[in-house]
Structure 1
Amino acid sequence: MRRLLLALPFALLPLTLAHAADEHDHDHEHGSLGAHVHGVARLDMALDGRTLELELDTPAMNIVGFEHAATSAADKTTLALARETLLKPHGLFSIPEAAGCTVTKQKLESPLFGDKDDDHDDGDADEHEHSEIHGHYQFTCNVPAVLNKLDLTQLFKSFPATQTIQVQLVTPKRQMGAEVRPSNPVVKF
């Protein structure tokens, strides 16, 4: 399954490049792949047999409102609440109960969660760096046929600074990409 997710960006590269041509000029210096743009997140989804995988990549600014190490009590609380929300993927991605999906693996990574060497002396050097949050979720679904849409309403409600999610998905029926916004948060497949 990991192979499938790794191949996903290449399978949809023509779509991504076509979309990049339509992007505003402020993104041209970064290119379209891997650009760190506040308000924009990326979600890759793959359904293979009974296995559903979701990978979320987003600037930390979209999730917690900052990208520096949490030092104040308020920042630490915000970070802890965001982490707790991100570790509840059933609600975050509105996975239908009828699909019988259970989480088999989930992992959150971010320098803000202490996943890289956090040397407090380097705080000033890291001040201008972009922090990302990466979530990987794997489910085993008893009735995968029920999965025919991805509803990101709750993700937008939980993290209102997220304005756009670039979704790429691969299912047995199709491969597609979509740009999802709070006003239209559902991708049907």
Structure 2
Amino acid sequence: MRRLLLALPFAVLPLAVAHAHDDHDHDHAHGSLAAHEHGAARLNVVLDNTTLELELDSPAMNLVGFEHAATSAADKAKVATVRAQLEKPLTLFGLNNAASCSETDQELESPLFGDKPAVDDDGDTHEGHEHSDIHAHYQLACATPDALKRLDLSPLFKAFPATRKIQVQLIGPNGQQGVEATPANATINF
């Protein structure tokens, strides 16, 4: 499922390094380029022939408003609502209808969804760690990929207003690019 995105970190590593100097790294335990910054998310986009893959990583705070385990009825309801929103990528990501894209695969992961805590490069889990992330991976088949001229993230920003910026790394027919999307500048050209 992740065959296209596996190549992405290597292809856009220079972009990630450039952005790493701009981000305040809250992910002290990992020491990675992927900083845990409230209000910020990361999106990898790959368009290869008729396949469009989207991979969103965000602190849970941006999406559900908290990062602790959901124990109250209100917290559990909020997690369920957010999960239901994330299960509809064609609603969250504005794509040209003429491209005729349909979802072929989806994967949602987070400790808030009952998944096991992530394991870092040292083999350590960060169970009980104050930071929780949500990872969403989507694979879409687009019958007319030439109709995909841009990706509109406005619906995503509207659904999750605590998300103030998204670091986008995109590989498409015109090469690779790194862009910072905001609610005021939410459209990325392929």
Give me the TM-score of the superposition, normalised by structure 2.
Answer: 0.88
1:98 aligned onto 2:94: no
Please report the TM-score for the alignment, with normalisation by the length of structure 1. 0.88
Distance 2:27 2:95 in 1: 36
Partner of 2:89: 89
| Residue in 1 that maps onto 2:115 | 115
Query: Is residue 110–residue 134 contact of structure 2 (8 Å, CA) maintained in 1?
Result: yes
Instruction: For structure 2, list consecutive stretches of 5 or more residues without a partner in the other structure.
Output: 118-125
Q: Which runs of 5+ in 1 are unaligned?
A: 118-124
Measure, in 2, the Cα distance between the counterparts of 1:106 and 1:15. Answer: 26
Instruction: Give 2:187's aligned residue.
Output: 186
User: Percent of aligned positions with the same letter in both sequences?
Assistant: 62
Residue pairs, 1:30-109, within 5 angstroms? 30=28, 33-109=33-109
Displacement of 1:126? 4.6
Deviation of 1:19 (Å)? 2.4
Structure 1 counterpart SS, 2:91: helix
Structure 1 or 2: larger helix share? 1
CA distance in 1, matches of 2:158, 2:16: 26
Shift of 1:115: 1.2
Equivalence map 1:159-170=2 (5 Å): 159-170=160-171
Matched, 1:156 2:157: yes
Structure 2 contact 25–36 (Cα < 8 Å) conserved: no
Q: Deviations over 1:27-46 (max 9, x none)?
A: 38756611111111000010
Question: Match of 2:89, as an amino acid?
Answer: P
The number of residues matched between the two structures is: 180
1:3 is matched with 3
Is this contact kept in 1: 2:157–2:164, CA < 8 A? yes
